[in-house]
Structure 1
Amino acid sequence: MDNTEYKWVQDILYEENKDIIKSEIERMDNSIALHIFAGNYNWNNGFINNESCDLGTALMLFYNADGYRMLEDEQGFTSSNLDKWKKFLTDLYDKIVNKKFKLQSIAFTPPLTKIQIFKLKKKSTNIPSIFLENLLGNEVEIPKL
């Protein structure tokens, strides 16, 4: 990404109008810019949805939105009254599992310890490995914007 793209991403991050933020996210077609944006995103502005999302970015979003809770305690997750959060995570989970992400070039390492991975595998053998293993690809450093 060049300086102009960094500035554009930074401007979107600090935009106060949620409709403008949503519109800019939807029109973003650079998967690296979207990844950097997502790594700096303020979740108070709603959930991210973009067709140019890379699988590595989707996994990062899953964990940044506390997807670990969904994997660790499915019953607690489904009983939550945070309907928008549950829908976002459920939809994202389904898209990841069903390989709906066209782009798969950004690396991702799940933010899990070996003990967390062990406990998740012990608790349920149904957790897809994509959520527990490193995803190979290009390492994208996420600067704080």
Structure 2
Amino acid sequence: MDDNYQWIRELLYDDISKLEEKINKINDPIALHIIACKYNWDDGFNIPKLIIENKNCDLGTASMIFYDADGYAFLNGNNEDESANLKEWFSFLSYLYGKIFNGEFVSKSIQYTPELTKVQIYKLKKVNPSIPGILLNGVVGIKVNEVGFGCN
């Protein structure tokens, strides 16, 4: 990892409450992207929600979080289960989808391309023609993995 971002590694392996405290103060979209990329989803939705609430969160990062949280199943309508975990998942993705759909992410400098086949894109468009193209085709920008971070 680039020395400029070494602090992120230390933060990710520290107490989750320290990470929660610091996310609001981060003003570097690449740092937020790296945290989102390296985040352990077993720890729940709180950290991803804090990231997408940060005014410096990039659209590419938001799109990555959307798909990392199984946004494909959300877009495809696979949300019939009524378990508590699924309600939290559905609420989180509904909120994030709304922010993406409404153009609330100002920064658009980090690349993210969802791993969707042409058939998957076709099926999603058929289920919901109003899906934002950004969620189907991705965001053009800097490839964070090209600067040594191992993120998509």
Q: In structure 2, what residue type is equivalent to 1:46?
A: G
Query: SS of 2:37's equivalent?
Result: helix
Instruction: Give secondary structure in 1 for the equivalent of 2:137.
Output: coil
Which consecutive residues of structure 1, in runs of 5 or more, have no partner in the other structure? none
Map Cα deviations across residues 36-72 of structure 1 (whole Å, 9 max, x no partner).
Answer: 1111111122322222110000000000011111101
Q: Whole-Å Cα distance in 2 between the matches of residues 117 and 24 of structure 1?
A: 37
SS in structure 2 at match of 1:85: helix
User: Structure 2-normalised TM-score?
Assistant: 0.82
RMSD: 1.9
Q: 1:99 deviation in Å?
A: 0.7
Residue 21 of structure 2 is aligned to residue 23 of structure 1: yes
Q: Does 1:115 align with 2:84?
A: no
Find the partner of 1:126 among 126, 130, 133: 130
Q: Aligned equivalents of 2:82 and 2:76: distance in 1?
A: 14
Match of 2:44 in 1: 46
Question: Mapping of 1:1-145 within 5 angstroms?
Answer: 2-3=2-3, 5-15=4-14, 17-47=15-45, 48=48, 49=50, 50-73=54-77, 76-77=78-79, 79-81=81-83, 82=85, 83-141=87-145, 142-143=149-150
Partner Cα distance (1:67, 1:94) in 2: 12
Q: TM-score, normalised by structure 1?
A: 0.86
Q: How many percent identity over aligned positions?
A: 44
AA of the residue aligned to 1:8: W
